[in-house]
Chain A
Amino acid sequence: MTGMGRVTSSGQIFVVSGMLIALIILSTGLYVYELEVSTMEPSPCSAVDLVLMVELGTRHVVIGSLANVSRGGLNETLVENLEKWGDLIGEYGYPLGRCVQTFLAAETPPYTSGIWLSWGSNGAGFSVASSNFTLRWSDQETDLELNYTVSVNTTLLIEGTYRKTGGDGKDVNITVHTFNEEKPTLLESISLYYMASGEWLATGPSNNQTVTDYGNGTYLISFSADIPDGTVKVSAHVYDQRGVYVRANTTCTELP
């Protein structure tokens, strides 16, 4: 009985020892596993990714700057914003090498500091920004240069007709077409004004105004107003979905 008990307790010690060894191995394994979990440094992007990222950002800066200037900001806004963007690219654009973007804002008339705003009375309005860019990047293996141009524009075309309804009363129909980079685009908002006795008046509910959105960048706006003048002049002020403002004036044609 005594001998048997000695053997049992000895065996138990070995079992416990075995389990302890297993635990130590397990713990070591887990510790090594945890040590291996690491956050790698930002990896450098490929040339294609770099170009895509820079071109996208540049385009957004040009659009944002055009929106700013068209709302009354300084023309120099575009150049200032592009300089800031260029600094950011230089600092963070290409972690494994050097990356520099330079630009030349359009200065050929009618552009000033890369911006051209033409809000005419002939039924056409343009808000345009344009600039040429050179992107250079180099590392131990590559030394590349890319030249590209970013030109964004919001174009507004309006035409109108009217019919006399008696006295000074007139029913006016205005057709509005809007484009971004020559492609039809939808508007964020539109305001219409008509000239009466030398003053621009905004159309409103009292003018029974209706707006028909054809969904392809074309809008038909109808309203009635007392306009004593012999001619009917209207002005459309619009914001596109990028926040760019443009306006255009036109003289409506009388229908019999």
Chain B
Amino acid sequence: MLGSSGQIRILDALLATTLVFSALTFASLLHPAVTLSKQEGLEVLGRNALIELDENGTLGFLIDRRNWTSIRESLKILLPTGVSFNLTVFDEAEQPINNSTISNGGLIDRKVMSVQYLCASQGPDSNLYLLRLQLAWAW
């Protein structure tokens, strides 16, 4: 029915499809498999960063002063490069109080871990806060 050149083109199309499909499969294999242990590691990193920042009362002090920039910069230092984060600070009435984003960029990974942390400030008003830190590997 078809000439040999037609058959070649069909073969060509099939090969192209196979090639694209294989490339996609290969790419998904190359993407770092986000294993459970890696996610748990992310959670430990996030919690440790918050504990370290809270150790001498710095975290509560910065929240009391609504110094979101310093909190973001501190987290950038405390968390390893390659970890994306987004922190939301809630007051006792569970209302978010950070009016600017405390983040180092988008959470672009497929698995986002969320760490919850309770913080009390050392100030004379002893303000209490609930923190939610979302974390993801950036690659």
Interface size band for B = 35 or more
B91 CB to closest chain A CB (Å) equals 11
B62 CB to closest chain A CB (Å) equals 13
Give 17 A-B contacts (CB < 8 Å), ordered by A residue. Answer: A12-B9, A17-B13, A19-B13, A22-B17, A26-B20, A38-B112, A39-B134, A40-B111, A40-B114, A42-B132, A57-B120, A60-B126, A84-B92, A85-B126, A88-B118, A92-B130, A242-B57
Which chain B residues lie closer than 8 Å to A53 at the CB level?
A: 47, 51, 54, 117-118
Q: How far is the CA of A11 from the CA of B60 in the complex (A)?
A: 69
Which chain A residues lie closer than 8 Å to B117 at the CB level?
A: 53
Q: Given A15-B12, A42-B116, A63-B57, is A56 in contact with B51 using a C-beta cutoff of 8 Å?
A: yes
Interface of A is mostly: helix
Q: How far is the CA of A15 from the CA of B16 in the complex (A)?
A: 8
The chain B residue with its CB closest to the CB of A25 is B21
Q: Given A7-B3, A84-B128, A88-B92, is A243 in contact with B114 using a C-beta cutoff of 8 Å?
A: no
Interface status of A41 (Cβ within 8 A of chain B): yes
A29-B2 in contact (CB<8A): no
Contacting residue for A21 out of B3, B17, B57, B130, CB 8 A? B17
Residues 49-92 of A at the B interface (beta carbon under 8 Å):
49, 52-54, 56-58, 60-61, 63-65, 67-68, 71, 73, 77, 81, 84-85, 88-89, 92
Q: How far is the CA of A17 from the CA of B9 in the complex (A)?
A: 11
Interface size band for A = 35 or more
The chain B residue with its CB closest to the CB of A49 is B47
B128-A85 in contact (CB<8A): yes
Contacting residue for A93 out of B13, B47, B92, B118, CB 8 A? B118
